[in-house]
């Protein structure tokens, strides 16, 4: 008995430490040259990446909620097993009882697990509804999987449709991440609801951005939806997580979330580029961010990005 108590206390202590360390670990992010936090996976990270969207926060909460219930169940069963092994060991309890039924216990072990399932089912169903609510979107991006790159088509922004390839390891510049940085990142506004229309041109892919709570199969001939709303400006990473052929690992997803004004400026530039038949220039958002910072520092109203802002791309 004493021993199982010891294990229980140790387990509770370890779990409490992990729970306490989790927000502390999430507190700081390295910054890129434009001053945006980089939300990338880190060595020895063994929890989810810090949540950066309402859906991912809900997923994170749900995971911990179910984890604690599971922890309670495992601890209870472990303690009961311990009691049985110690107290009813053949040496201490040579004559077994002939008990076969106990109504109270039988009712309990039916009702309690059923209640636990209901307690898990209700928030889980709620989350499914939340995830499939595409109303009040700000914009829609069609995401198309290809062997082996992504294509992003900004619906409602004429011609803004570009491909996004992994940067080969020998061409990485400082601050870029191997197998995660892309040549043309998906640029989105922070704080706005964005809906992805996800499909594929060839085989099954999967559009997966863990910190934003986005994961959907990209299926040829079908369009599946998923939405996100990025909490704050930053760079977020994901990858195709459906084995899709030889270069499956060359399908990273890099999302750059910009403050609204910078996003509008970027979109205006991207539209201009598209009208000339060019893809949006590589990492132009960094240039824009630097311009914005300079303009702010110099307090020159003529140089602010607002002047370049275009009406938002709203589609339904």
Q: Which residues bind Cu ion (CB under 5 A)?
A: 205, 240, 244, 251
Between 251 and 258, whose beta carbon lies closer to Cu ion?
251
Q: Indicate the residue among 148 and 266 with the shorter CB distance to Cu ion.
A: 148
Nearest distance from residue 157's CB to Cu ion, in Å? 25
Considering beta carbons, is residue 60 or 183 the nearer one to Cu ion? 183
Q: What is the DSSP string of 206-225?
A: EEEEGGGTEEEEE-BT--EE
Query: Which one, 186 or 240, has the nearer CB to Cu ion?
Result: 240
Q: What are phi and psi of 7, to 5 degrees?
A: -60, -40
In whole angstroms, give the CA distance from residue 307 to residue 264.
Answer: 10
Of 246 and 299, which CB lies nearer to Cu ion in the complex structure? 246
- Minimum Å distance from CB 145 to Cu ion? 5
Least distance (Å) from Cu ion to the CB of residue 242?
Answer: 6
Q: With respect to Cu ion, which residue has the nearer C-beta, 59 or 251?
A: 251
Nearer to Cu ion, 58 or 198 (CB): 198
Residue 10: phi and psi, rounded to 5, are -60, -45
**Positive or negative: CA dihedral 100, 106, 110, 112:** negative
Shortest distance, position 251 Cβ to Cu ion, whole Å: 4
Beta carbon of residue 152, minimum distance to Cu ion (angstroms, whole number): 15
Contact 266, 90 (CB under 8 A): no
CB of 181 to Cu ion, least distance (A): 17
Minimal distance, residue 173 CB to Cu ion, in Å: 25
């Amino acid at each position: 008995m004493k021993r199982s108590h010891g294990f229980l206390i140790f387990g509770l202590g370890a779990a409490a430490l992990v729970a306490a360390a989790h927000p502390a670990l999430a507190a700081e992010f390295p910054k890129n040259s434009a001053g945006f936090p980089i939300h990338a996976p880190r060595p020895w990270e063994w929890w989810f990446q810090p949540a950066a969207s309402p859906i991912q926060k809900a997923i994170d909460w749900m995971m911990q909620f179910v984890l604690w219930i599971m922890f309670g169940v495992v601890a209870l069963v472990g303690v009961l097993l311990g009691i049985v092994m110690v107290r009813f060991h053949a040496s201490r309890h040579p004559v077994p009882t002939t008990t076969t039924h106990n109504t109270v216990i039988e009712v309990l072990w039916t009702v309690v697990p059923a209640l636990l399932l209901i307690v898990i089912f209700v928030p889980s169903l709620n989350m499914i509804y939340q995830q499939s609510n595409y109303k009040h979107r700000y914009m829609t991006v069609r995401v198309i999987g290809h062997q082996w790159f992504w294509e992003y088509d900004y619906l409602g922004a004429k011609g803004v449709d570009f491909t996004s390839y992994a940067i080969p390891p020998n061409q990485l510049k400082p601050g870029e991440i191997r197998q995660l940085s892309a040549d043309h990142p998906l640029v989105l506004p922070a704080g706005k609801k964005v809906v992805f229309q996800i499909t594929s041109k060839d085989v099954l892919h999967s559009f997966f951005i863990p910190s934003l709570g986005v994961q959907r199969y990209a299926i040829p001939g079908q369009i599946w939806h998923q939405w996100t709303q990025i909490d704050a400006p930053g760079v977020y990473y994901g990858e195709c997580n459906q084995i899709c052929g030889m270069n499956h690992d060359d399908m990273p997803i890099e999302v750059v979330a910009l403050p609204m004004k910078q996003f509008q400026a970027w979109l205006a530039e991207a539209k201009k580029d598209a009208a000339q038949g060019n893809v949006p220039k590589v990492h132009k958002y960094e240039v824009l961010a630097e311009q914005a910072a300079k303009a702010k520092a110099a307090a020159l109203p003529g140089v602010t990005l607002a002047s370049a802002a275009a009406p938002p791309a709203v589609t339904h």
